[in-house]
Amino acid sequence: MGIANNFQDKLKKISKQAKDTFDYAKMEIKIKSYGRECKKRYTRMGMLVYECRKKGSAVNGEEIEHICREIDKFKHKIKIIQRQMEEIKEKDCSVLDSDDCSKKEKNKVFLKKKDSNSKDMEKEAKLLKFCPKCDVGNEPDAEVCVKCGHKFE
């Protein structure tokens, strides 16, 4: 019965780590989305300035200020998400061995912590191959990343 409970505890940890990995990937997508929104506003602001210069008229300061506030809001949202991502990384590093927290090791193996009761469980659990380009977990035998299409060496 102790082995079954230990197995359940380990399985819960793995499930939590998988959820954190999924949440982390969603956060990365959100950051990229906010980054694209910032770029759209930079472009719009540049177009406004250019058109005013071309016409020889004054730049509409209120409109520029409005665009700047929108950019600031997106940048603030990005910072919040980046802090949340750091918290997830810190949790993962506290669960994994400290050596496993380096990017090279993370790309090789996601779940590596070993103890005498987890050997059977590790045989059952799939180890993820992380993409060096977008940092998404893939099947261990994957040849290309499921998210970005990067070819693994």
pLDDT tens per residue, range 35-89: 999 999 999 999 999 999 999 999 999 999 999 999 999 999 999 999 988 887 7
Question: What CATH class does 2-95 carry?
Answer: mainly alpha
Residue intervals of the chain classified under CATH 1.10.287 are: 2-95
pLDDT of 122-136, one tens digit each?
444 456 778 888 877
Joined tokens for residue 24: 């982390």
pLDDT band at 21 (very low <50, low <70, confident <90, very high): confident
Residue 147 has pLDDT above 90, yes or no: no
In the predicted structure, residue 102 carries a pLDDT above the cut 60: no
- Name 129's bridge partners: 138
Alpha carbons 115 and 92: distance in angstroms, whole number: 17
82: left (phi over 0), alpha (psi -120 to 50) or beta: alpha
Question: Which H/E stretch holds residue 72?
Answer: helix 61-95
**In one letter, which amino acid is 116?**
S
